[in-house]
Amino acid sequence: MSLLLILCFGISISFGSVNIPFSDTFNAIFGGEIQKESWSYIIKNYRIPKALTAILAGSGLALSGLLMQTLFRNPLAGPFVLGISSGASLGAAILIMGSSTLSGIVTFGIVNDVTLAIASSTGSFLVLLAVMIVATKVKDTMALLIIGLMFGSITAAIVSVLSYFTAAEQLQQYVYWSFGSVGNLTWKQLALLGSIICFGIILSIISIKSLNAFLLGENYARSLGVNIKKQRFIIILATGLLAGGITAFAGPIAFIGLAVPHLTRQIFDTTNHKIIIPAVVLYGAILMLVCDTIAQLPSSIYVLPINAITSIIGAPVVIWLLARKKKMIF
């Protein structure tokens, strides 16, 4: 599976709007001679960061989906259900569209990648914080799930109100962000995203034992000596970091979080987190690279919105799983 990941990584950086021969791609990575200086620049500063972003986004979203599904004992849970992604969207919407609405009072016309990332991570963390406060008071995980959905509805409503009052130009900018993109990240942003994802993965790994106990239900987990409140907090924090961080930098990317854990369970036929966590991380990365390569439309100058590609691949997968197994089990 790791080999498959490396292969997909290779394919992903070999294709792009500019045709670069395979041999030169290879040389550019390993420091060999290449025909054109610009090719080297494209590969080093555009394609490799893009492929790495795809890997980080894919594995992070897939892992956060797995954590949600185990924590909420719900096969349909994912980062979107908790409202974390909607929180990020709200942050972005307020920055992009709110700045134009309030332009009479505040004049900051510079909406660049960095401020956008800051705004959306702030949004996702605010929602996460609200969900966590509720989580300490509400014991029922089903109620928490519904609260997450309500947060999603509220943010969606605010976004539509904002877009009603927004100039076409800003609206277009927001719509572009909501398409999702794993491109355009600088090495600095990539390092930040990478460390967020790594922290999330470490939190998940130390929770493996409790996650397995959660498979029996919370009361059984408690009778096995698991500190439910503490573990729930750690798992929610990990999910928030993974999903929030990725949405901030790559926009909302649908279905990876929901579909990858199910696909992985199909392949490995186990729910043991010791196996399923590394598998989901690898599998999410591979699927995201494939989606990104398709979105790139090799050799053409068009780049399709990645959110559309993941939905086109992800939605039928979920339907197929439902139809085949009648009842989705996790």
Residues that bind another protein (CB under 8 A): 73, 205-206, 208-209, 212-217, 219-220, 222-227, 265, 271-272, 274, 329-330
Contact 288, 55 (CB under 8 A): yes
Q: Residue 72 contacts by C-beta under 8 Å, 6 or more apart in sequence? A: 81, 141, 142, 144, 145
Tell me the closest approach of the beta carbon of residue 324 to another protein, in angstroms: 14
| Least separation in angstroms between CB 254 and another protein | 24
Q: Minimal distance in Å, beta carbon 72 to another protein?
A: 10
Residue 36 or 139 with smaller CB distance to another protein: 139
CB of 3 to another protein, least distance (A): 25
Least separation in angstroms between residue 98's CB and another protein is 40
Q: Which of 234, 172, 238 is nearest to 201 (CA)?
A: 238
Q: What is the spatial distance between Cα 194 and Cα 245, in angstroms, rounded to a whole number?
A: 9
Residue pair 304/66 in contact (Cβ under 8 Å)? The answer is no
The rounded distance, in Å, linking the Cα atoms of 252 and 159 is 14
Which is closer to another protein, CB of 213 or CB of 287?
A: 213
Ramachandran angles phi, psi of 181, nearest 5°: -160, 135
Nearer to another protein, 13 or 226 (CB): 226
If the CB atoms of residues 114 and 329 are measured against another protein, the closer one turns out to be 329
Comparing CB distances to another protein, the nearer of 47 and 265 is: 265
- 324, burial (CB in 10 Å: exposed 0-12, middle 13-18, buried 19+): exposed
Residue type present at position 44: K
